[in-house]
Amino acid sequence: MQVLRPISSEDFAALKTIAVESGHGFTSLPVDDELLSNKIQRSQESFAKSLSTPIDEGYLFVLEDTQTGDILGTTAIEAAVGMQVPLYHYHQGKTVHHSSTLNVYNTVEILSICNDYTGSSEICTLFLREQFRRGLAGRFLSRVRFLFMAQHSERFSDKVIAEMRGVSDENGHSPFWQWLQEHFFSIEFPQADHLVGLGDKVFISELMPKYPIYSNLLSPEAQAVIGHVHEKTKPALRLLQKEGFEHRGYVDLFDAGPTVEARLENIQTVRETKTGTLTIGDKIPSSADTWALSNGQLTEFRATFTTKVMWDEASQTFTVDHETAQALKLSAGDKLSGFVL
């Protein structure tokens, strides 16, 4: 059985393996022992806090195969981004150059640097190791975060964002960054990407152009990738779009990948979640649907997905087998929440 739980210090080796496998552009998991250890510690401290409003917490989860003990992937939530370290984006806009005397009217697209998403909650660090990318595990990792957020809404912002990985080649080179590098920077994209992953963003305010950039002055290659995602990120973007996330013109500073957003209460998973009382049965027939189930707890949060579940709308009860109840650390009569994957 695959169970999602908060990361622990014993998961360091597995997290480092995932950081290595995630490759270029996955800035939230830099291959750095100290930073990875700090991420684990910060997550543990975030789960342990008593909060009524989000400040600067980070919640990191791992997906574990309970039979083998293997860590299959990760997923995470940042409670309020940009509160300690500035969060920069470009916003796509337009400016008009008009001369009635010459009868000239030109609309030009521009990119303006901004901090508009400061304080928003961010879903991030979703990575499923390649050998486990089958079935519903990826969809589960993406959607179960919204269930956790809804169950602990006081810890998160009403606005949820996701920064999507932009276009880069197999060596990690971004066409958008190449133009910026040529005119404003003297470092390669992987190095800039790595610095961001380390939390070192001072160079952005020091070197990034302060005024809006006219998009038509960029190279054709750079213009072509603005607002587009990496090939491997397309499935993740489609999942979020189904959840109700929209792109409102914000893109990453370095690879121009889109940032998408949604209101927490409008997210499909949140709207479709059922909560009821748990009963435990000996032989549960497989349902036609696969359900994602969560115990709704905090430090002992557990979630899994299974077809061995029955939901009774009239009595507001879930019935699961003993293995599922044990994996979720629940007993008969406890509250259980879930949604159809």
Please name the helix (run of DSSP H) or strand (run of DSSP E) that holds residue 326, with its range, or none. Answer: helix 322-327
Tokens of 97: 């150059």
Beta carbons within 10 angstroms of residue 231's beta carbon: 10
Q: With contact defined as beta carbons under 8 Å apart, do 147 and 337 qualify? A: yes
Distance CA 113, CA 91 (A): 6
CB 143 within 8 A of CB 127: no
Secondary element (H or E) of residue 204: helix 202-207
Name residue 281's beta-bridge partners: 321
DSSP letter, residue 210: S
Residue keyed to tokens 């806090």: 49
- Residues ≥6 apart with Cβ < 8 Å to 308: 284, 285, 286, 287, 320, 321, 323, 324
Our CA angle for 263, 161, 165, nearest 5°, is 150
Residue from 24, 183, 230, 322 carrying the catalytic annotation = 230
| Residue type for position 150 | A
HEC readout, 42-63: HHHHHHHCCCCCCCCCEEEEEE
Distance CA 70, CA 67 (A): 8
Residue located via tokens 């696969």? 290
Extended beta strands in the chain, E state: 2-6, 58-65, 71-78, 89-99, 104-114, 121-128, 159-163, 213-214, 246-251, 258-263, 274-281, 291-294, 303-306, 309-312, 317-321, 335-340
Our answer to whether residue 230 is catalytic in this structure is yes
Enumerate the active-site residues: 230
